[in-house]
Amino acid sequence: MGTPVHGPDLRAARPGQSRRALLAGSVGNFIEWYEFGVYGYFATVIAARFFTPEGGSEVEGLVKTYASFALAFFFRPVGAALFGRLADRIGRRPVLILVIVLMTGATTLIGALPTYATVGALAPWLLTLLRVVQGLSAGGEFGGAVSVMTEFAPPGRRGLYGSWQSFTVALGLLGGAGVAALLAGVLSAGQLGDWGWRLPFLLTLPLGLGALWLRLRLDETPAFEAEVASEAAGSPPAREVARAVALGAGRVMGWAAAGYTFLVVLPSYLQSTLNASFQQALLATVFANLGFAVTIIPAGLLSDRIGRRAVMLPGALLVVVLAVPLLNLLQDTGVSTGAKGVAVFGAGAVGGLMAGPGPAMLAELFPTSVRCTGLGLAYALSNAVFSGCAGLIITETVKRTGNVDIPAYYAVATCALSALALSVAPARHGAGGKGELTECS
């Protein structure tokens, strides 16, 4: 295992700066994943309001809803490249301010959109356009936020600080599930479908304004300032960066696929395939996200002691072993609700083992000059293919084959490949100088 090393420039960060960076980076991730969770939890409602004209198939509408969901994810790599390169050139702070404005505006507007019944075929196009804006801004959010968190982290605490990115993902998904469950409990099905689904999206506006205020008070990172001041500043060869991006994407593939399968796609799968009620599906998702949240920060902290791969690899292998039995348990009508709750809690907890050290692991693959671009692309590409397409692939494959075990097979396959990528040692980029991050392997 390599020893985590911070150059002298990173040590110059004051405790107050580190705390502000942690908070400012985390709040944007919370909003981003709150919205993505809400969209997933209300997928069946959105399908009926935007993608299912009179006489249309409910399954077909759900597939189109997930197609729009996937499209937003495919714009994340574009956003990662665009905003990441900007952040590597002009600084992390201005880009984080820009992306939170875009994300907040697009999400709020979704809550005000006219439906298919009002404007016809224009409705799904408007929704898809806003999803594209969300995808672009989300692509820039991850690279900027993780760079800020890890570059401001105290020595030996990069895994802990980076894990807050994943932890706020869990909080965002839990927040979305909590709001959805609350609305489902206090509103009738008719009210929820008519106007209640809009409320979670509109709630993003005050959240986004709070995040904007925090980011306006954020300092630029010492690592970026040192890079700008360095006369020898420059980018590594494109081929080296591309290899690191491919390796990073492979390492987080299982985290992306298994996480989204069990934390976001699960509610619609339980409703459309196993005939669960909306409330039952949301409850299962809350348990899964609680398990996910519980292990993330301990996993990040542990990775500072024993290495990133030493924590992430067992997580990927546990999904390979446990995914099919877990899904079979959920399908068994003879198993108690309590046992199913424990099972989905455990599934989320295993995902947290990969998600906790993941952000720091990605940051350590790239030098300062390309860090936002590189780690943002690795994460966005993996999520575009394996998270954004999860709902579409699973729903369409179950529809065509009738095999209700497809979600488990999907998680197993991606985590197996992720375990292979985690077994490969990355090339070194000349660590330790000018505030660079060296890998804790």
Per-residue model confidence (pLDDT) at position 7: 40
Rounded to whole angstroms, the Cα distance separating 399 from 429 reads 46
Task: Report which listed range, 17-26, 143-152, 183-192, is most confident.
Answer: 143-152
Q: What is the mean pLDDT of the chain?
A: 84
Share of the chain above pLDDT 90, in %: 42
Domain extent listing, the chain: 8-422
Instruction: For residue 344, name the pLDDT band (cuts at 50, 70, 90).
Output: confident
Tokens found for residue 104:
């907040």
130 or 67, higher pLDDT: 130
Share of the chain above pLDDT 70, in %: 87
Per-residue model confidence (pLDDT) at position 203: 93
Per-residue model confidence (pLDDT) at position 10: 41
Is the model's pLDDT at 350 over the cut of 90? yes
Per-residue model confidence (pLDDT) at position 440: 62
Q: What is the pLDDT of residues 223-234, one digit of tens each?
A: 898 888 875 556
User: For domain 8-422, which CATH number applies: 1.20.1250.20, 3.10.450.630, 1.20.140.10, 3.20.20.70?
Assistant: 1.20.1250.20
Is the model's pLDDT at 250 over the cut of 70? yes
Per-residue model confidence (pLDDT) at position 119: 86
State the greatest distance between any 2 C-alpha atoms of the chain, in Å, as a whole number: 68
Q: What is the pLDDT of residues 259-318, one digit of tens each?
A: 878 877 776 677 767 777 777 777 777 888 899 999 999 999 999 999 999 999 999 999
Per-residue model confidence (pLDDT) at position 275: 75
Per-residue model confidence (pLDDT) at position 37: 77
Q: What is the pLDDT of residues 352-410, one digit of tens each?
A: 999 999 999 999 999 999 999 999 999 999 988 887 777 778 878 888 888 888 888 99
- Residue pair 410/257 in contact by the 8 Å Cβ criterion: yes
DSSP string covering 138-149 = HHHHHHHHHHHH
Is the model's pLDDT at 213 over the cut of 70? yes
Per-residue model confidence (pLDDT) at position 427: 60
Is the model's pLDDT at 3 over the cut of 50? no
Using only C-alpha atoms, what is the Rg of the chain?
Answer: 21
Per-residue model confidence (pLDDT) at position 2: 36
For 17, the 3-state DSSP assignment is: helix
Is the model's pLDDT at 43 over the cut of 90? no
Rounded to whole angstroms, the Cα distance separating 115 from 327 reads 35
The CA-atom distances, in angstroms, between 46 and each of 63, 137, 260, 268, 407 are 11, 22, 18, 12, 22
User: Which residues, other chains included, contact 36 with Cβ-Cβ below 8 Å and sequence gap of 6+?
Assistant: 134, 138, 172, 173, 176, 264
